[in-house]
Structure 1
Amino acid sequence: MKFNTATAPHIPASKSVQKVMLWVWIALIPAIFAHMFYFGIGIVVQLFLAITFAYLFEIVSLKLRGQPLQPFVYDLSAMVTAILFALCISPIAPWWISCVGMFFAIAVAKHLYGGVGHNVFNPAMVGFAVVLVAFPQPMSAWLPPMEIALHDLSLMDYFKVVFLQQFPENMNYDSITSATPLIAVQTGLQQGFALSEVRTDVLFGDFGGLGWEWIGNWLFLGGILLLYKRIITWHVPAAVILTTIAFSLPFYWFDADRFLSPMQHIFSGGLMLGAFFIATDPVSGCSSNRGKLIFGAGIAIITVLIRDFGAFPDGIAFAVLLMNMGAPLIDRLTIPKPYGQKDS
């Protein structure tokens, strides 16, 4: 008798791509609300743009590749890529920033390499790195935290600024924008100020940037949720955070007026987002546990070096992409040999 059975394996995987991406999205929700609380509802506009463009390029790429829309459109991977990208850009970034970023993230970094599960580089960081290098001016102009902002923008104001570059009456680009804490540090040091003098600016909080440190706290809690649900393992986040502390501490001890403290490294910029939500990408990262530790440590070291000595104020995107290139070699050197196999 013949049984109508599917091909092996017959035991379904416990975690589908859709389920994993759904939990990542859920873990990001608190940080998104914190972003709204400290920097306004402009993040909603950027999320709308990034998600819209991500699915547009997802559908077009699948059609061009002759692939069915289902299940790829519904696996939520494009949405998570868009959310991660939107959290990295200014709330008032022009609409075409998301268009260009999502084109390189979805069409190039993802589908040009074969689609989900085949990308060599983290798609969100590819899109972010492209727009960061290509459009430095709109990418560096952020809004100040709400508690020190001189103007309060409505949702309609955000749409006008993002889509038409039209500002409300008695406002202009310079009056509503501000540097991020990391850009303020870089600019202040280039102008000859000591770090202790730069940190007297109202942009700074107890450890990192005002508002940024609380967003970092919520990202940390979201990362703990992913660890609890076993969506990610502890190796990469622990390696990123602990290596950042260990590697930046000697610089800080050597000259506290020139180099950021370990806590300011952790609670400024995108390090916490990178540690739990970007560097833990199982496709573009490492597979072995030892490899994950090396991968995370490499990201931390490169990020600290770029922040302290590089031309860009934050290096998390470049650090992730550089380590993505080294991930296959790291895995080759760290994956244990099967039992009984002799060393060649």
Structure 2
Amino acid sequence: MSDLLHVSASPHSRSSITTRDIMRDVLIALLPASIFGIYNFGLRALLVILVTITASVMTEYLYCRLMKKPVYRGDYSDIVTGLLLALNLPSSIPLWIAVMGGVFAILVVKMLYGGLGQNFMNPALAARVFLLISFPVRMTTFAVEKIASPTMTDYLRNGAVTLDGVSSATPLAAIKAGETVDVLKLFIGTIGGTIGETSAVAIIVGAGYLVLRRIISLRIPLTYIISFAMFVVLFGGKGMDTNFIFGQLLGGGLMLGAFFMATDYVTSPGTPKGQIIYGILLGLLTGLFRLFGGSAEGVSYAIIFGNLLVPIIEKYTVPKAFGKERVRSGR
């Protein structure tokens, strides 16, 4: 029995790029959105980021110790999960809720299913949805008190939003109510929302880095965004209203989700055709949830639902093996 060969699960591709390298590049790519989030919402945003990352790292460490598994391999995956979750949280979230989210993401979604590479849905998004269901008011409160003559201390505590103040209504909520939005502010990011989703330009810069490093391809993100835009044009009731279309594209978590979470290696299809189908599915689901659902947002639910369908998508999009004879009718 000792002479048996143990072969790991497929795919058996070889590459000099390690998981550590990939996760490090993702962390670098998330820096623009993180830095802008801290600039926009102040030191409270930095505190949420640090607390959520710490909760994620400690949860994985303690689980490995208790289960007598190899402790912390330094692949940065727990840090990436914690950071992505933090960027999906409002800066005003109570810290104990941020800790609960980090524990849920690592323990329930990642480690209990076998650890890195075995999770069936994106851990950070699963934790965000868990928190949304458990604490809907806390997770959707983005109010920032306007300060008439802000000092440097006010900037540090509350960020750039102290200049104008940000109401509790996000741009997507305003659009859903029939109001127009400032597209330039949406692009730059000086608006209300979660820590990392507000600045489209910061997200695009980070995504560009991942593309240049060949960590992700544009197949899923572009298919996702284009199919969503088409859905909005066809069923949004506004036709080619550019303010409505760009408000939907730049508002909320669409950009962050499309480039950083829909492209997750573990929970997205590995086949080219499957990635296109997956992107279209996400675009349709996001449009359906946003336009016809009770909430103004829908990216998290769309991606998680898409994650659950990935095995089926891959089953029917795997290329035929070379030389495999086609089954003829009647035989």
TM-score by length of 1: 0.80
User: Which one of 49, 52, 56 corresponds to residue 50 of structure 1?
Assistant: 52
The worse-fitting range, judged by mean Cα deviation, of 115-124 and 305-314 is 305-314
SS across alignment from 1:311: coil
User: Which one of 178, 182, 194 corresponds to residue 168 of structure 2?
Assistant: 178
Partner residue, 1:113:
113
Partner residue, 2:225:
241
Identity of aligned residues (%): 30
CA RMSD of aligned residues (A): 2.9
Deviation for aligned residue 1:327:
0.3
SS across alignment from 1:110: helix
Deviation for aligned residue 1:183:
3.0
- Over 3 Å counting, the alpha-carbon distance change for 1:183 and 1:64 in structure 2 is farther
CA distance in 2, matches of 1:249, 1:257: 6
Structure 2, unmatched stretches of 5+, are 1-5, 159-164, 192-196
User: Which one of 297, 318, 331 corresponds to residue 280 of structure 2?
Assistant: 297
Give deviations 1:75-100, integer Å, cap 9, x for gaps. 10011111111111111100122122
Deviation for aligned residue 1:114:
0.5
CA distance in 2, matches of 1:246, 1:332: 27
Deviation for aligned residue 1:335:
1.3
Deviation for aligned residue 1:29:
0.7
CA distance in 1, matches of 2:242, 2:290: 9
Kindly indicate whether the alpha-carbon contact (under 8 Å) linking 1:286 and 1:331 is maintained by their aligned counterparts in 2.
Answer: yes
Tell me which amino acid in the other structure corresponds to 1:29: L
How many corresponding residue pairs? 305
- Over 3 Å counting, the alpha-carbon distance change for 1:118 and 1:156 in structure 2 is same
Give deviations 1:263-322, integer Å, cap 9, x for gaps. 112211111111110000010111101111111111111111111111222111111110
Tell me which amino acid in the other structure corresponds to 1:251: F
- Over 3 Å counting, the alpha-carbon distance change for 1:140 and 1:64 in structure 2 is same
CA distance in 1, matches of 2:286, 2:185: 18
CA distance in 1, matches of 2:114, 2:246: 39
Deviation for aligned residue 1:262:
2.5
Partner residue, 2:316:
333
- Over 3 Å counting, the alpha-carbon distance change for 1:318 and 1:304 in structure 2 is same
Partner residue, 1:277:
260
Partner residue, 2:90:
90
CA distance in 1, matches of 2:242, 2:131: 27
CA distance in 1, matches of 2:101, 2:22: 23
Partner residue, 2:200:
216
Tell me which amino acid in the other structure corresponds to 1:76: Y
- Over 3 Å counting, the alpha-carbon distance change for 1:103 and 1:333 in structure 2 is same
Give deviations 1:59-79, integer Å, cap 9, x for gaps. 1221233211141xx110011
- Over 3 Å counting, the alpha-carbon distance change for 1:149 and 1:223 in structure 2 is farther
- Over 3 Å counting, the alpha-carbon distance change for 1:111 and 1:343 in structure 2 is farther
Q: Is residue 189 of structure 2 the alignment partner of residue 206 of structure 1? A: no
CA distance in 1, matches of 2:265, 2:147: 39
Kindly indicate whether the alpha-carbon contact (under 8 Å) linking 2:172 and 2:248 is maintained by their aligned counterparts in 1.
Answer: no
Kindly indicate whether the alpha-carbon contact (under 8 Å) linking 1:205 and 1:211 is maintained by their aligned counterparts in 2.
Answer: no
CA distance in 2, matches of 1:132, 1:339: 47
Kindly indicate whether the alpha-carbon contact (under 8 Å) linking 1:141 and 1:177 is maintained by their aligned counterparts in 2.
Answer: no
- Over 3 Å counting, the alpha-carbon distance change for 1:124 and 1:340 in structure 2 is same
Q: Is residue 217 of structure 2 the alignment partner of residue 262 of structure 1? A: no
Deviation for aligned residue 1:214:
6.7
TM-score by length of 2: 0.83
Structure 1, unmatched stretches of 5+, are 1-6, 159-174, 190-194
- Over 3 Å counting, the alpha-carbon distance change for 1:265 and 1:113 in structure 2 is same
